[in-house]
Amino acid sequence: MDKLTPSQWKVINKSYEPASTIKVIAGPGSGKTLTLLYKVLHLITVENIKPEEILIFSLTNKAVDSIIENLLSIFENSHTNKEIVHQIGCYTVHGLANRIVVENEGMINIIEEIGWRGLMKLLPPSKRTPHHFRSYKELEKVVKDYKLNNAKNNNPVIEKLVELMDNCKVMTNDDLIIRAKKYLELDSSDSDASSFTQDLHNKYKVVLIDEFQDLYPSLAPLITMICKGKQLIMFGDTNQSIYGFLGSNNEIMSQLDNLHPKNFTTVLKLFDNFRSTPEIISLASKIINRPLAEKQIIDDTDETPSELVRKLPSGVSPQIMTFDDLAAESEFIIDKITQLICSSAKFSDIAILSRTNSHLTAIASILKKYGIPYQKLKSQPDWMDDLRIQFLLDILKVCSLASDEKHNREFNTGDKWQSNFSILVTMSALKGIGDASIQALYKACGLKNLSIWKYLTMVPNFEWPLGLSIKKKMENYTSNLYEMIENDQVHQLDDPMELLEKVASITNNLNLNPTYFQSLSDAQSSLEFKTHLQEMAQVMKVSKSNKPPGISFVKWFLETYFDQTMVFHQSQQALQTTGPGTVKLSTIHSAKGLEFPIVFLTNGSMSNFPMDTNALYVGITRARNLLYMCNMKHERLVSKSSPYSRSIMSNNLFWTYYNKDLNRSVCDVKVTHGYNVQRYNQLRKNFGFYRAYSSLRGCKSVFRRI
C-alpha cells in the first residue's frame, strides 16, 4: 500500500454510518484522489460494504475515467479481484441523470447548436429581428429563462417551442437533471420506476462525490435526493471553485452540509501538499490570501493541523513577466522551451495554460511554425462540435425513429412524434426551404395530428400548404431517407462502416445550405471533415464491440454514443502522452485535476483584465517544479523577473532535484553544460531570435531534429 499520511488515514479509517456525512477539505496536490481510492478499498475490505453498494460521481468525464483507471490499479495491487471495480457505480452527474431518463423513457435528445438553429426556423420573422435573437445562444437563454419562470412569462411563441421540445423529448442539460429527479421521486416500489431507479433508492449505501466545489445549484435537487439516507463522503476545495458562471456553489453546499444532522456530520482536512515545490505553494497561498505554515517539511508521524508542504525547496521561484504583445510573449515561451529541452526537460513535461481557447490557438500556430509537437487537451473530441457530424447524427435519428413509427414498434407516451425534432432540424438545413415553409408544414401536421414523417409520406401532395418548388425539395428529402426507413434497413445494419457510408450518402444527395456548413470544396475544411468522420467511425466500432445482445446497433449507438465517445477520447489522449512527448495546451478549466512538471500560465489578450482569483490559484497549482507566468494581472502579483535569463540551464542543483522528483536518472548538467549551451545557441540562430518577432516568419522546424 502507498505511503499515506496521518490526515489521509483519518479519512480512510472513519467508520461507515448510514445517513451521515464526511466532508473532506482537500487542497491541490494533497493526495485527494489517492485518499478517495483507498477509502473505497477500506469500505469494501474492512467495512464489508459490497462494491455494488458504492456510488461515485463527479462533474467531468475526465475525472470519472481517472477514478476508474486508478481503482483498477489499486485493487490489482491489493490482490483483490479487479472485477469488483466494474460493480462500483461511477458516473458524471449528467451521465447518471441521462441513464435514469433513458432507462425510463428510451432514446432522448440533448439539444446542441444545430438543434437551436433549427428551432429558430420556427420563430415568426418579428421574433428573429436583431432586437430579439441575434444568435441561437440568445434563443437558448430565453427558453431557459422561460422554463425557470413559466408562471410569470406569457410568451406564446416560446411556449410553442417548449411544447415541441417536450413532445419530441428534446432536453437541455438542466431539463435532464429535472427529469431524472422526477423519476427518483417515484416510490421505490412503484412499478413505473425502472430497476436502475429503484436501485438508486434501495441498493446504494455510500455515495462519494469528487470535487464538490464544481457542483452548481441546478444539480442540487437530484444530488440531495440520491444522497439522502446514505453515507455521503465528499472531497473538494472551495478555493478551486471556477465554475461560478453556472451559479453559486454555496447554495448546493449549504443543502449538502445540512443533508444529515450536525452530530452525524464530520469535517476533515488533508493538510499535506505532495505536488508542488514550496516556492510555488508560497505564491499560491499568497494569491488565495492564506498564509503558508512555518513548518514546511514534516515526518509522517507529525499531525500538526496546518498547511504542510512535503517537497523540499527547489531553489527556483516562479517567474512573473509582462509583455507588450503576443509576439513578445510567444518569443519568450519558445526561447524558454528551447532552454528547457536543451537541459533535462522533455516536451511532455511542459504545459501551456490560458484562460481562453482563442489565445491557445494563437500559441499553437507559433509552436507549429517551430515544429514543436503539441497536443490540445479538450474535454471532448472536435468531431462532436462539428455541425456536419451533428447533422449526420440527426439524419440517423430521423431514420431510426421514423422506422420505428413506420413499423409500429412500441412507443412510450409522446414518442410517436419524437422524430419531429430531428426532421425539423435536418430539413431546416436544406437550401431553399425557408422559415415560412417550415412553419406552415409544422402547423399542418398539428391540424391533422400527424407526425411530420407521416404527413410527408401519407398526405397527398395537393393537400400540402406549400409551393411546388418547396414540395419537390421536401420530396427529395423524404425519397433519400425512404429506402432505409421503408425496408427497415436502419435496424438491420450492424456494420458501423456500412451504416456510416449510407448516412453519408444520404447527406451527399441533399442540397445543404452553405450558411449552415463550411464548404467542403475548401481543402482544409474537407480534410477536417474527413478526419472527424474517421474519428466518428472509430467510436462506432468501439460501440459495436460493446453492444449487448437484443438491441439493434443503431439504437445502441444513438443512446450511448456520448458516453462511449468520452471514454474513447480519454483513452486516446492518454496514449498520446507516451512516445516522444508533446507540449500540452489547455484552458485552465480543462486542466483542472491535472498536474505538469513545468507550466506556462498565460493571459494573452486578456492581460488588461484582472485574473479571477480561484482560476489563477488553480492554474498556479497545476505546476510541480517550474512555473512561468505571462501577463497575469492580479492585485497580489508583481512582475519582477528578467524574461531572458539563462540561469536555469546551468542550475545543476535544480536539475538534480527535478530528475529525482520525476524518478529519472540524474545527470550532472555541469558536465553537459557546454554542449547544451552550444545546442541552445544553434537553435536560437536557426530560429532567428534577435528580439525581433518578424524573423519567425522564416523559422525552421529544427526541433524535429532534437
* Cα(183)–Cα(175) distance, integer angstroms: 13
Task: Just give the CATH number of 4-100+175-271.
Answer: 3.40.50.300
Residue numbers in the chain where pLDDT is lower than 70: 1-2, 77-82, 107, 113-114, 117-118, 121-136, 150-154, 187-194, 242-248, 290-309, 378-381, 407-418, 514-524, 563-564, 566-580, 604-609, 639-646, 669-670, 686-706
CA atoms within 13 A on the CB side of 578: 4
Tracing cell 431539463 back to the chain, one arrives at: 175
Give me the residue spans of the domains in the chain.
4-100+175-271, 108-167, 317-372+579-685, 381-568
How far, in Å, are 201, 527, 701 from residue 58 at the CA level? Answer: 19, 35, 41
Beta-carbon contacts of 233 under 8 Å, excluding residues fewer than 6 positions away, are 21, 22, 24, 36, 39, 206, 207, 208, 209
Q: Which residues contact 542 (CB under 8 A, 6 or more apart)?
A: 564, 568
The pLDDT score that the predictor gives to residue 643 is: 59
pLDDT of residue 293: 42
- Reported as a single tens digit per residue, the pLDDT across 156-172 is 778 777 877 877 778 88
* The three grid cell numbers given for residue 558, joined into one nine-digit string: 444513438
The binding site for ATP comprises 26-33
Confirm whether 4-100+175-271 and 381-568 share one CATH topology: no
> Helix/strand/coil (H, E, C) string of 158-180?
HHHHHHHHHHCCEECHHHHHHHH
Question: Could you tell me if 294 and 331 are in contact, meaning their C-beta atoms sit under 8 angstroms apart?
Answer: no
Q: How far is CA 24 from the centre of its chain?
A: 24
Looking at residue 512, the DSSP 8-state letter turns out to be B
Residue pLDDT, tens place only, 344-399: 899 999 999 998 888 888 898 888 888 888 888 766 667 777 778 888 888 888 88
Q: Edge-to-edge strand order for the sheet containing 21-26?
A: 89-92, 54-58, 206-210, 231-236, 21-26, 265-270
The secondary structure of 226-287 as a DSSP string is: HHTTSEEEEEE-GGG---GGG--HHHHHHHHHTSS-GGGEEEEEE-EE-SS-HHHHHHHHHH
Numbered residues of the known binding site: 26-33
- The upper half-sphere exposure of residue 478, i.e. CA atoms within 13 Å in the direction of its Cβ, equals 16
pLDDT for position 476:
87
**Coil/strand/helix, residue 407:** coil
pLDDT at 132: 52
CATH architecture of 381-568: Orthogonal Bundle (1.10)
- Residue range 317-372+579-685, CATH number: 3.40.50.300
